[in-house]
Structure formats: C-alpha cells, structure tokens
Structure 1
Amino acid sequence: MKNIALDGVDKAILLLLQQNADVPVADIAEKVGLTATPCWRRIQRLEAQGVISRRVALLQAHKLGLAMTVFVQIKAARHDGKWLTDFAKHASSFEEVVEFYRMSGEYDYLLKVVVTDMAAFDHFYKRLVNGIDLNDVTSSFAMEQLKYTTALPLTHL
C-alpha cells in the first residue's frame, strides 16, 4: 500500500475531524491557520485520496442495550480459496460482527461481536457454526472496556 504524503496542516485537520466530524469547516480552518475554502479543498482531497473513507455517528453500545462484547476466535476447517470466500461472506453477514480479521498464529480469524446478553450471543453462535464448516471456535467475553477509540495515531506523520 502506498502512503499518502500529508503535511502538518493535513495532520491537524485529520486530528480535529477524528475528534468531531461535525465541526464546521470554518472552525477547522481557523484552528489550522487557513481560510475556509483552502481548508475545504484539503478535506475534499483527503476524501478523494481515501484517507477519509466516510463520516459516521458513533453510538454508545450500552445505551442501546448492547451490553456484551465477545471476541470469537476461529480455526478454519480448510485453507483454500473457496472456503475463505465462503467463510468471509458468512461471517460478514451478521450485524453482530462489528470487526472481522484474518490472523496469524494459532487461530485463523478473530471476530468482535456485540450483543445484548448471553442468550443473544448463544443465538448468534448457533447461526455462525451451523452456517459453515469450522475446525474450532473459542469465545472470550470482555468484562470491562478500558479503552475505546476510533481515532488513529498520527504522530508518525
């Protein structure tokens, strides 16, 4: 993957947008030392380059009754392209799966699953394992969230 060349102003804009994407462009421009039009052009360029992929509302899971976070580790039944494609489609189809990774190490895949309670997880689990051939599945339940952020580190830029 090719890195995009960003300057200090781009970095400052990204830091501000990661904190709150609803901030008016004029306010961002003032904070980074630009006028609104050049600031807006930079934001548009960052979007066109794919640095900013989208702007979303972040919801509080616990306020929506989603009190349980589960990390599900999976060992593949097979290691061929068709199984990988089928499994990726299957696991991605569940709204409870909020993150999904192919991993190195003992387990092949890691799913982050958010549900209301144990009964909801059990329902999810049965649908997951019944939909495709798996070798092994293990789940770990988060007891406490100590840090959560969607902001990416930018100090290396």
Structure 2
Amino acid sequence: MAAQLDRIDKAILTLLQADGRIQNLDLANKIGLSPSPCLRRVKRLEDAGMIKRYVALVDAVKVGFGLTVFARISLVAQDAETVESFAQAMNALPQVTECHIMAGECDALLRVVATDLDGYRQFQMAHLTRKNGVQTVKTDIPMQTVKSSTQIPV
C-alpha cells in the first residue's frame, strides 16, 4: 500500500533523488520550509523506509566496466530452495548489479557489468552454472542506452 505523501514530502523526495548530498539548509529553502521542520520530515521519510539509503552513482565505464549485459536465466528447477540458493549466489557477486526473479519466459533477469566481452564470458563460465542452479543463459547486449534513471516519480 502506497503511503500518503503531501506536496512537501514529494518535493523533498524529488530533490533528494536528484542530489542526495544537498545540504538541509538548501533543501529547506527550495521547498519553502525552515531547516528544522525540513530535517524532521526527511528523518520521518527515512524512518518510514521511503528513503532507503544514500549512494554515489559511479560511471561504470570510467572505472573500467565498459560492458553491461542483461542475462535471461532459466533455472534447473523453480522450487523455493533452488530459487533461494540462486538468489544468494547472485547477491554475493558484485558484477551482478540487478537480479530480478521473473514471471514469464525466464526465471531470472540479471544486469551484469564486465570489463569487456571476454570478461563477461569468464564471469558466465565461472558463475552462471548448474552449481548456482542455472539451466540456461541467454545474454542480451544493449547497443545504446536511451534512458537510465534511479529516480522514482513521486
């Protein structure tokens, strides 16, 4: 169930999504509050779990991960134990930046970063195997990123 957010809460969330390092004074000025009530609202949004955490968005290419692929995974079985084991294995791999258990043609969808195609091939051979519950892997390589956003419309 979605929480009820007023105009000020939405403004706070929008501004923090655009700049998580914004100073409270600047945030308060932009939304038309004094600093203390603004800070209380941010704290309330954090405590309610609407703000999960603050992160720095790193440019993958500039730090040596020039390839992003999407891997469609079929598991050897769809029972709870296989899915949980697979999920734990994927959570332990820093190259897997997203892992979604799916309904549809594949059992899981991964977003994987690698240095290059050979780096991904080595990653696939080492980690996307039966030992982690993987039956088949179908890899899609994006040709162009049209949009990539971390912001949720509030």
- Normalising by structure 2, what TM-score? 0.95
Consecutive unaligned residues in structure 1, runs of 5 or more: none
1:148 counterpart = 2:148: yes
Q: Write the distance in 2 (CA, Å) between the matches of 1:29 and 1:134.
A: 49
1:74 partner SS: strand
Who is 2:60 aligned against?
61
1:13 partner SS: helix
Q: How many residues align?
A: 153
Question: Contact 2:72–2:139 at 8 Å: present in 1 too?
Answer: yes
Q: State the one-letter code of the partner of 1:124.
A: F
- Runs of 4 or more, structure 1, over 3 Å off, are none
Q: Write the distance in 1 (CA, Å) between the matches of 2:75 and 2:128.
A: 12
What's the C-alpha RMSD, in Å, of the aligned pairs? 1.0
Q: Write the distance in 1 (CA, Å) between the matches of 2:18 and 2:78.
A: 40
Q: Write the distance in 1 (CA, Å) between the matches of 2:14 and 2:134.
A: 41
Residue deviations 1:10-60 (CA, integer Å, cap 9, x gap)? 000111000101111111111111000000000000000000000011111
CA drift of 1:134 comes to 2.3
- % identity of equivalent residues: 37
- Normalising by structure 1, what TM-score? 0.93
Who is 2:13 aligned against?
14
Who is 2:47 aligned against?
48
